[in-house]
Each structure stands twice: as C-alpha cells, then as structure tokens.
Structure 1
Amino acid sequence: MSRRLNANRTVGVEKNLWVEFTQLAAAYNTVNLGQGFPDFSPPKFVTEAFCNAVSGGALMHQYTRGFVSGFICQRAVPISNILVTVGAYQALFSAFQALIDEGDEVIIIEPFFDCYQPMVMMAGGKPVYIPLRPVIEGGAVRSSGDWVLCPDELASKFTPRTKAIVINTPNNPIGKVYKTEELQMIADLCVKHDVLCISDEVYEWLTYDGAKHVKIASLPGMWERTITIGSGGKTFSATGWKVGWAISSGHIIKHMKTIHQNTVYHCATPAQEAVAQGFEREHELFGTPESYFQQLPAMLHRKRDKLASLLESVGLTPIMPEGGYFMTADFSSLKVDYKDQSSSDEPNDFRFVKWLIKTKGLATIPVSAFYSPEHSKDFEKYIRFCFVKEDSTLDAAADILRKWSEGQ
C-alpha cells in the first residue's frame, strides 16, 4: 500500500523494553532476575480451584459476570463498582481510554511501570512527570522509603488541564510503600483541583518490615474520584491467568465498562472462579498463619534479604524495598569496564545490564527505563532485580555473583 498503515496513536510508543531484554536474556541463556513473575507454582488451593472450575460443568466454559468480594473493597457493590479485566494491564488500558481525552494532562509519578506513558499517549493525553527523589543522609540511599515527593513540586504540576494522576504503591521498581501522610498530600491536591486518581495497587499484599498498605480511595473525598487497580496474578502468584480488576464508584466504572465491552468483552471464566475462591478462602483465614497473604510476604521477605546480601557481596548497594517483587541496586561504585562500543549511545544502566547479561549470564533491568527522557539521566546508576524466584534460581545467581566477586 502507498498510504501510511499505522494510526497516529501508535507513533512514538513502538519500542518495548521487555521485548528487547527478554530476547537478549534468552539469547545468552541467562539466570533471569529481570522479568517480574514467580518461577514457582501458585498455592495448591487456587490451582485446585482452577481444575475444579474447568471440570465444573457447562457454565464454567461460558460467558460469566465478573466476581466480586467484600475482601477486596468493603464499599464495592457487585456489577456497579468492580470491573473484572484481562489482567491489571487491561484495567489500566480501560481507565485511560475511558477517562482521558485529547489534550488532557496526566501526572505520572516516577519511576513508573512503563505501560503508563504509552497508554496515556494512545488516549490522546499528555504525560506530565514528577520524580520521587532519594533523600540521602549519611551516605547511600538504603531504603525505598527514602524516595519521596517534593510537595511544592507536585503541587506545581496541577493545572486546569490536569485530568488525572497515576500512582503505584507498592511501587515498581523501587518498592516504595506510600505512607498515609504522603497519600493524603496527593488526595488533597486531587480534591482541590477536581482530578481523578488512578492507583495501581497490584502488589498490595506484599509488604515488609511493618510497612502498611493504605488505599488512597479510603481517604476523605477520594472514593468518588479514584480507580483502584488490582491483580489476581500478583495476589496468588499466577500471572499467566490474567485476571485483574478496577474498583471505583459507579459513575466512573460505567465509562470503563464501555471500553471493556467493546474490546475484550469478557475474561476467562475458570480463572475468575479460581481467583474468587482464593479470596473466599483468604477471607476466612485472614490474619492466621494459614493465610497465603501471611505466608507469601514472609517467604519473599527471606528471599529479599538473601538477594540483598548477595548484591552487597559484589559491591552493589541494594535499596531495600518496603513492598513488591523487586529490589533496585546502585552500581555506581563498581570498578568495572562495561562500556563497549556497541552500546555507546545508550544510557549507563542499559550498557551495564547488557554487559551483565553478555559476560556474566545474569539478566536484570535498567531503572532509567522507568523514567521520562527529561529525568532518566539522573537515575542511570540503578538496576532492578526480581526476587520472586525459586531458591534454586537465587542460588544460581549467587554462584554468578560469587565468581564475579572472586574474579575482581
């Protein structure tokens, strides 16, 4: 064809970080601590629920309505307030498509999961960025809680064109869990300027060291202006099931339903049933040692600490996450030559990650990829590791790091 094929909405959003680094990791047969998914099975009670659903009769193989549970949100009403989606990804897509119009400004707090930016742009919106900045006291940054927003800088980003702000708590990649007072600062600005809040809370059950997850929708004036995004895949370690949801008041959800019914229309019935049964079980066991919501973060807390020790052993400075799947580390103090000519035009963290993959067989992700071009240069000294892995995977990474340390 002589005419241009691609629609304008695809211009500028063609590149995808995950495609590039997944292919590179596979090509070098690496130990992969880059991608954010467990390499262990979901708990037996949800896999059994999935199997039972598949063999549970004709209706389990047909269209169904989305499940709902008061355990997810006490204010949610079936059909009216919850939209079940094909993973949290589609919940985010539905929110941006339904609520953001041409020229609307959307504030995105950095670092951010990389789909926010292209989804805003495809909806015709304009991303406006504000970074969390590390507060350094007595040397290097050691905790994700040390990354904070500047209140004045945040306030300056709100204009008459601002339609929404996107937050992610616990945050990917740094693992920050927003404190109530930080969320209240954001909420006050949303109320003052009549702005929506899209709150990505897919790691809500994974917090460490006493950090508490707080839903911004629970703060005064926020229920009617917040879209809370959740994930069955992250909740029950079953990311391939692609069950997510958006929770909001009816006057918002109805617009997201319009996008949903005209794109995917429906999500897999057996996977919904299995996740629903998982929540029902957790509702009964919540707060007890048998609860998966107690067991999973306890297990990951141990894996987190193990990875931190490994990284320190080779001179990396880990930033301890308060929640989530990931740990970032500062590699700026390392005395290694990773700047080969083939990647000379790339950011330092991209070059370091590629060197690590090619020469050490260990895959990670560059953190500057989670920033806008205007701020990424300030954060090129960090890389992201995923610790939601089998001990055997972490042990294999440990062997690589140990050999590296001995060879320096």
Structure 2
Amino acid sequence: MLQMVGAVREGSRESSPSADMTTPKRLANRYQQCLENMWLDICEIKAKYSEVDVGVGLPDYPPSEYIQRTLSDVALEGNEYLQYTRDQGHLRLVKAIAALHGPLLGRDIDPMTEVIVTHGAYESLHTAFLSLVNPGDEVILIEPFFDVYKSMTKLVEGTPVYVPLRPSVESPTSSADWALDPQELESKFSAKTKLLILNNPNNPIGKVFKREELEVLAALCIKHDVICISDEVYEWLVYPGAEHVRIATLPGMWERTITISSASKSFSVTGWRVGWSVGPKDLIDCQMIAHQNGDATCGTPVQEAIARCIELELSRIDQPDCHFTQQRDDLLAKRDRLVEMAREVGFKVCVPEGSYFLMVDWTAFATKEMIDNGTDATSDFQFAIWLLKNHHIATIPPSAFCEENKHLVGNYVRLCCFKTDELLNKIKTYFASLKPLEDV
C-alpha cells in the first residue's frame, strides 16, 4: 500500500511524482531509511476521485488583507529589504518574536541569542535534530505524531522510541479523552534518551496537554537530562475550555526546551515559510550552526513583513480585533459546524481542544469486508480510499501519524475545519450521500 520516494508534504501542492518512481541508484545511505511515503497512494487516488477535500491541513482562503498588503508594501520599499539579512534572523523580526514570546514564556527573551528564524517550523525541527542528535541517541515520539519527526530521527541515525496517547474511554468524545500512561511513558526513558518531541496542541488529535500532564513529562526530562523540542505551531488555536501551558515555563524546563512556532499557522501564510525557535542560548547556538551550514539566510521581505504583523498584533493582543483572537474565533465556529455536520450524518466525533483538525469514527458506515482492498494497509487508509472512490470525499487516515500503535486510531479519519463557508456547504451535501449501515 505504501509507496516510496517523492515526498509529499501535507498542505503542499499536489504535484507528487508517479507512484511507480524507483529509488535513485545514487541516493546517499542516510536517506535509505527515509524512503517510505505514506501520502502517495492517497494523493494519486485523490487526483482521480476527489470532488471535495476536507482532509488537507491547508487554509483555502487568505488571511486578513493587511497581512497580504504588508508583504507587497515591503517589496516596493526599495533595495533594503531585497538583499541578505542577518543569518540568525532579521533584526526587526527577532525583536518582535522576543517581545511576543517573552510574556508567554514568563521571561525576558534576548532576541540576539535566544531566537533563531528558519524556513518554516520544518527547518526549526530539522536544525534541532541535526545539531543535537548523535547516532544511537534515542528520541521519544508521542503517537500520533507529525510524520517528519520519525524521518528526521532516522536521517540523523537516531533511534525513535514510541509512546502512545491512549483513549481513556471506549468512545472518546473529546481530544481530552486521550492521555499518556505515566508508567508506560517512564519506561521509554533510558540513558540513551536525548530528545522528547512534544506537539502541543497535537496534530491530528487536537489534544491540548494539561498542566499536570506536562509536569510528568518535565519531571522525566529533568531526571534523565533530556532536551524537549516543543512544537507549538497551533499555539493560537486553543479553544475555550482548554489552557495552553507552555512546557518551557515549568520549573527547570527553560534551560532544556526549544519552543517552535511559525508564521504559517499564526498568520495563515503557509507559503511564506517563516518559522522560529525560542530557547536558551546554548541550544539556539546548536541550531544556528546547523542553519548556517544549510539554509543560512531566510528571505528578507517575508521576515520584515512578519515582523510588522507581529508588532501590530502586540499592540492589540487579546483584544477582539487581534488577528490571533479573530482567527481562533473564526475556526471555533467552523469546528463546531463541521462537528455538527459529521454527527448529523452518523459519525462519532472526537472534538478537538485545539488546531485545525478533528477526528471522526467511521465504523458506522463500512465494515472491514466492505473496504478490504487485499493489502495489509490499516483500516483507516482503506476507509479513506473507499470514501474517495465511492463518495468523492478526501480525508486523512490518522494511522499515517503512528508507527507502533496504528490500531489506536484505525477507526478514525481526520477532517480539517479551516475551509471556506462555501466548501463547508459542499461538504454537507456530500456527507448526505453517506448512510450508516443500519440505514442501508
């Protein structure tokens, strides 16, 4: 079922190579463990059958007009912003990032030594893995996880160690119903553990970790001298009822945590490719060495534009007209609408506390026999393909975000709520073609 080569990043343009592409014979050994690609089959079938895409994690409408105008203004202001800027980050931007994250992290952030700007959060992750993990080091990944965590671990010859979020009830109705088992978690730490990767809020479940859960993680990191990479790109998309506690604010964690954010999610400009890391100087210095020997300098115009956007939002932070507030409220309404539509047709919904996504239990609509395609693919992949071929609805199978515990999410598909009202109306029409088995 799974094809190889031709990586298709989620949210990227669907111009994936042919699924029958063979492994390049001159490919370096370090990439031999990174060939498996979970998206190609879905993309190939989606191109043929999809008429409504509620799976891909990509905003399908632009952000506020002022955000777009800011970049055009910068591009027309002369030569200053059209040339190289500071490798570690455009000066105006790192100052804005420090001003934004200082209050969130409860400390004064030094913009010159405790912030690095990268080509999206993706490069922040990449430079962290490259600069911190040695061959044989273990990296703890909480399943389900953003799939690149595994490939980046293998690329640097680290050893992924998996610990799952498990449902605490038989049929979860909220992302809060998924939790780590403290004893199981502790058993994953060893003298070889180098990193813990935390995604908070989590993709694809939408879980926002509670303070007491983070305290358990923090205590283990401190006990075993482990660095925490906290991927918090959905930090502004935490819905009422949940609190986003940043693990770097817990006692003893600032000095061992890299917090990663991005303009892609904060300002809904995934194509601008601006991300950043905030953390103690010794860890940021490590990332900087990897960054200088790779991408080196990010685009000056987009950094200047994001700096101006952050400065404006700082002047109205937590106010109704703040972009972060408006985006969250807009997506909350869309989340609730998609939840209602999914429930009306017969899905059981796991309502997310944060992020773009929600998971729905599909087992009311198809038995394994109905969707079995003769492969060893997980049932959520099979249902996603069945749904595409028979009802022309594109979703994402969440077992793609797991390695050892795919069965825990095999009864779900992931939906994205960051869609126009027009597309949500279309989704409702297509959902109407689905009938629970007892109604057939």
Q: Which residue of 2 aligns with 1:132?
A: 165
Q: Which residue of 2 aligns with 1:23?
A: 44
Deviation at 1:270, TM superposition (A): 1.3
Q: Distance in 2 between matches of 1:360 and 1:4?
A: 40
Q: Which residue of 1 aligns with 2:269?
A: 238
Q: Distance in 2 between matches of 1:4 and 1:26?
A: 28
1:102-127 Cα deviation digits (max 9, x unpaired): 00000001110000000011011000
Q: State which of 332, 335, 344 in structure 2 corresponds to 1:301.
A: 332
Q: Does 2:399 correspond to 1:392?
A: no
CA RMSD of aligned residues (A): 1.7
Q: Distance in 2 between matches of 1:30 and 1:351?
A: 18
CA pair 23-266 structure 1, distance change in 2 beyond 3 A:
farther
Q: Which residue of 1 aligns with 2:379?
A: 348
Q: Which residue of 2 aligns with 1:281?
A: 312
CA pair 110-334 structure 1, distance change in 2 beyond 3 A:
same
1:73-222 aligned at under 5 Å gives the runs 73-74=102-103, 75-136=108-169, 140-222=171-253
Give SS of 2:387's match: helix
CA pair 171-99 structure 1, distance change in 2 beyond 3 A:
same
Q: Distance in 2 between matches of 1:343 and 1:305?
A: 37
Give the letter for the 2:353 counterpart: E
- Judge conservation of contact 2:366–2:383 (CA < 8 Å) in 1: no
1:330-349 aligned at under 5 Å gives the runs 330-335=361-366, 339-340=370-371, 342-349=373-380
CA pair 17-260 structure 1, distance change in 2 beyond 3 A:
same
Which ranges of structure 1 fall in alignment gaps of 5 or more residues? Answer: none
Q: Which residue of 1 aligns with 2:28?
A: 7
Q: Distance in 2 between matches of 1:18 and 1:85?
A: 25
Give the letter for the 1:244 counterpart: G
- Judge conservation of contact 2:166–2:408 (CA < 8 Å) in 1: no
Q: Which residue of 2 aligns with 1:48?
A: 69
Deviation at 1:335, TM superposition (A): 4.2
Deviation at 1:215, TM superposition (A): 1.0
Q: Distance in 1 between matches of 2:131 and 2:415?
A: 34
Q: Distance in 2 between matches of 1:335 and 1:6?
A: 41
Q: Does 2:404 correspond to 1:383?
A: no
Range with bigger deviation, 18-27 or 256-265: 18-27
TM-score, structure 1 normalization: 0.95
Q: Which residue of 1 aligns with 2:55?
A: 34
Give the letter for the 1:9 counterpart: R
Q: Does 2:406 correspond to 1:402?
A: no
- Judge conservation of contact 1:339–1:351 (CA < 8 Å) in 2: no
Range with bigger deviation, 59-68 or 71-80: 71-80
CA pair 72-27 structure 1, distance change in 2 beyond 3 A:
farther
Q: Does 2:101 correspond to 1:72?
A: yes
Q: Does 2:250 correspond to 1:229?
A: no
CA pair 335-255 structure 1, distance change in 2 beyond 3 A:
closer
Which ranges of structure 2 fall in alignment gaps of 5 or more residues? Answer: 1-23
- Judge conservation of contact 1:338–1:355 (CA < 8 Å) in 2: no
Q: Which residue of 2 aligns with 1:61?
A: 82
- Judge conservation of contact 2:372–2:382 (CA < 8 Å) in 1: no
Give SS of 2:320's match: coil
1:259-288 Cα deviation digits (max 9, x unpaired): 111111111111111111111111101121
Give SS of 2:157's match: coil
Range with bigger deviation, 5-14 or 81-90: 5-14
Deviation at 1:339, TM superposition (A): 3.9
1:3-48 Cα deviation digits (max 9, x unpaired): 9522222123212233442333222242111111100101112111
Q: Which residue of 1 aligns with 2:18?
A: none
CA pair 307-338 structure 1, distance change in 2 beyond 3 A:
farther
Q: Distance in 1 between matches of 2:241 and 2:168?
A: 21
Q: Distance in 1 between matches of 2:295 and 2:311?
A: 26
- Judge conservation of contact 1:166–1:199 (CA < 8 Å) in 2: yes
Percent of residue pairs bearing the same amino acid type: 43
Q: Distance in 1 between matches of 2:42 and 2:71?
A: 32
